[in-house]
């Protein structure tokens, strides 16, 4: 593999290696057809949600979300490249992925550790997709264990014990979370639950939309009005993380906005992907592309794919310190 001499060179090199093994599993036409079905299903579930049924947001969104990731299986490869750099997972380490969704981060982490990796998410729909993916990956993914619970539930440990007969207190080496914590309106309880799961010295690596960034503006001004369920973001910031650490036995060791980019063959693929990912059955492909241009910007990376799009994420690392978690 040729060395690419640039600031992010090692990342690009890893991604192009991943691209050699990534296979597109759906043609554009198949994706269009699938998305039509997914949106029909999503509108149905959303109507029940609006009528008062207690249905988590991602039980509405899970099918188009999963189809987008299947349509462009390589688009978000950089997410794990950065996550891995921050977490440095080691063989044998047991961990949990909070807001695991369909497992985009969970599976590659589990592959590196080769150990039990709990995929924790409040959406049954997302976890069904994760289970399907786990089964299709075979033995190498058998160590991924889905856990259906809100990571910010006040009865988190009781629910896990009741449903799965598992006691996960003080058992884990690490917690990851990618792009999910902004959905929680009770981040203090979420971090508290995470810390209680960790062994002394265990670490938490979170990547999420940073408050005040162009990505937060994109979500607030473009995704929120167009996503079928709407979108509320309780964005993280350096200040917010330090505030949380005042109330919890954890030390924030590093916070940094990382220049993550997502990669596509062309603009049409980018818009199609975001349509499914954000359950946007309202905007035209042109409007989605204009939204990206306005808030995020495209960047040309001809060595990988023709199009790359800025998706800068706030990464943070926390370490569990001495003391009781008493929230």
Ligand X SMILES: C[S@@+](CC[C@H](N)C(=O)[O-])C[C@H]1O[C@@H](n2cnc3c(N)ncnc32)[C@H](O)[C@@H]1O
Q: Can you give the binding site for ligand X, defined by CB under 6 A?
A: 56-58, 98-101, 104-105, 121-123, 126, 150-152, 178-180, 183-184
User: Which lies closer to ligand X via its Cβ, residue 230 or residue 323?
Assistant: 230
What is the Cβ-side half-sphere exposure of residue 37, based on CA atoms within 13 angstroms? 9
Cβ proximity to ligand X, 98 vs 174, nearer residue: 98
Residue 278 C-beta: closest distance to ligand X, Å: 9
Question: Could you tell me the smallest distance in angstroms from the CB atom of residue 222 to ligand X?
Answer: 15
- Going through 63-214 in order, the beta strands assigned E by DSSP cover 95-98, 117-121, 144-148, 172-178, 198-208
Rounded Cα–Cα distance for residues 270 and 264 (Å) = 6
Minimum CB separation of residue 252 from ligand X in Å reads: 19
Q: Looking at beta carbons only, is 180 or 291 nearer to ligand X?
A: 180
Task: Name beta bridge partners: 97.
Answer: 119, 176
CB of 144 closer than 8 Å to CB of 119: yes
- Write out the DSSP string of 183-204: G-S-HHHHHHHHHHHEEEEEEE
In whole angstroms, how close is the CB of 293 to ligand X at the nearest point? 22
Shortest Cβ 302–ligand X spacing (Å):
26
Give CA–CA dist 318/9, Å, rounded: 27
Considering the complex, what minimum distance in angstroms separates the CB of residue 116 from ligand X? 18
- Closer CB to ligand X, 49 or 306, in the complex: 49
CA distance 246 to 239: 11
Taking the complex as a whole, the smallest distance from the CB of residue 272 to ligand X amounts, in Å, to 17
- Under DSSP, is residue 50 helix (H, G, I), strand (E, B) or coil? helix
In the complex, which residue's CB is closest to ligand X? 101
Helix (H, G, I), strand (E, B) or coil at 182: helix
Close Cβ partners of 248 (under 8 Å, ≥ 6 residues apart): 188, 191, 192, 195, 325, 327
For ligand X, give the closer residue by CB, 176 or 272.
176
Which of 184/271 has CB closer to ligand X? Answer: 184
Element (H, E) at 38: helix 28-50
Of 99 and 318, which CB lies nearer to ligand X in the complex structure? 99
Query: Which class for 21: exposed (0-12), middle (13-18), buried (19 or more C-beta within 10 A)?
Result: exposed
CA distances from 71 to 15, 27, 95, 254, 270 (A): 17, 7, 28, 34, 11
Smallest gap from Cβ 242 to ligand X, in A, equals: 21
| Residue 202 beta carbon to ligand X: minimum distance, rounded to whole angstroms | 19
Question: In whole angstroms, what is the distance from residue 186 CA to residue 178 CA?
Answer: 17
Our CB check for ligand X shows the closer of 35 and 105 to be: 105
Which is nearer to ligand X, 200 or 230 (by Cβ)? 230
């Amino acid at each position: 593999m040729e060395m690419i001499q640039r600031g992010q060179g090692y990342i690009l090199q890893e991604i192009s290696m991943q691209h050699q093994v990534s296979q597109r599993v759906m043609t554009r036409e198949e994706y269009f057809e699938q998305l039509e079905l997914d949106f029909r299903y999503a509108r149905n579930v959303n109507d029940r949600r609006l009528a008062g049924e207690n249905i988590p947001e991602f039980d509405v969104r899970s099918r188009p979300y999963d189809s987008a990731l299947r349509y462009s299986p390589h688009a978000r490869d950089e997410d794990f490249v950065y996550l891995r750099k921050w977490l440095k997972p080691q063989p044998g380490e047991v961990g949990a992925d909070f807001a695991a969704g369909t497992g985009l981060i969970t599976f590659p982490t589990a592959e590196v550790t080769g150990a039990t990796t709990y995929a924790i998410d409040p959406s049954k729909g997302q976890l069904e997709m994760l289970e399907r993916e786990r089964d299709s990956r075979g033995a190498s993914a058998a160590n991924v264990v889905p856990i259906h619970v809100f990571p910010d539930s006040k009865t988190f440990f009781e629910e896990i014990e009741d449903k799965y007969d598992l006691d996960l207190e003080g058992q884990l080496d690490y917690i990851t979370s990618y792009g999910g914590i902004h959905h929680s309106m009770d981040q203090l309880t979420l971090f508290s639950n995470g810390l209680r799961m960790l062994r002394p010295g265990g670490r938490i690596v979170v990547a999420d939309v940073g408050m005040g960034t162009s990505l937060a503006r994109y979500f607030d001004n473009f995704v929120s009005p167009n996503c079928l369920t709407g979108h509320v973001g309780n964005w993280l910031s350096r200040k917010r993380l330090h505030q949380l650490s005042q109330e919890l036995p954890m030390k924030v060791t590093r916070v940094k906005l990382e220049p993550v980019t997502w990669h596509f063959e062309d603009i049409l693929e980018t818009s199609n992907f975001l349509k499914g990912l954000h359950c946007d059955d309202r905007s035209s492909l042109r409007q989605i592309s204009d939204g990206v241009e306005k808030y995020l910007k495209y960047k040309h990376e001809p060595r990988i794919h023709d199009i790359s799009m800025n998706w800068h994420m706030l990464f943070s690392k926390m370490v569990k310190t001495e003391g009781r978690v008493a929230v």
